[in-house]
Amino acid sequence: MAAEERKKYLGIKVETWDKIELASMGVVVATSLRSALDVVGSRGLFGYGKSKTLVKASRLGIKKSTWNELTTLSTVLGVMILLKSGVDLLERKTNILNKEISPGQGLFVYSQIPR
């Protein structure tokens, strides 16, 4: 069952998943840009382009400890999206008991449904 046909995924509303995906994209772009500027500034690209200015610019005005927290946030959001995508894929591509794996109230509620 695709996300558009549901009201919830893993107990989270579809509208909230849209916001999570957008936030994840923004954080991934920011951390990737920061990493690229830092590496090119400190090591260069094939030996060219080393620049202390690029290394300073790679912080984008944010403390190093904050970048560590943003990287962790990016990882957590990525895992959430992978989990949601995996559940969606299993529901669409398999016929597991002709039921949703996650009936919208949470992943673990399914095992508690009386049969």
Q: Domain for residue 2, yes or no?
A: no
- Domain residues for the domain of 51 are 7-112
Q: Domain for residue 12, yes or no?
A: yes
Instruction: Encode pLDDT of 29-86 as tens digits.
Output: 888 888 888 888 888 888 787 888 888 888 888 888 888 898 898 889 888 888 888 8
Provide the β-strand partners of residue 45. 48
Question: In 3D, which of 54, 65, 61, 60 has the Cα closest to residue 29?
Answer: 60
Structure tokens at 29: 């772009």
Q: What is residue 9's three-state secondary structure?
A: strand
Specify the pLDDT at position 103: 54
Give the residue-averaged pLDDT of 87-99. Answer: 68
Domain count, the chain: 1
Specify the pLDDT at position 87: 80
Q: Domain for residue 84, yes or no?
A: yes
Q: Domain for residue 82, yes or no?
A: yes
Q: Domain for residue 1, yes or no?
A: no
Q: Is the pLDDT of residue 101 over 70?
A: no
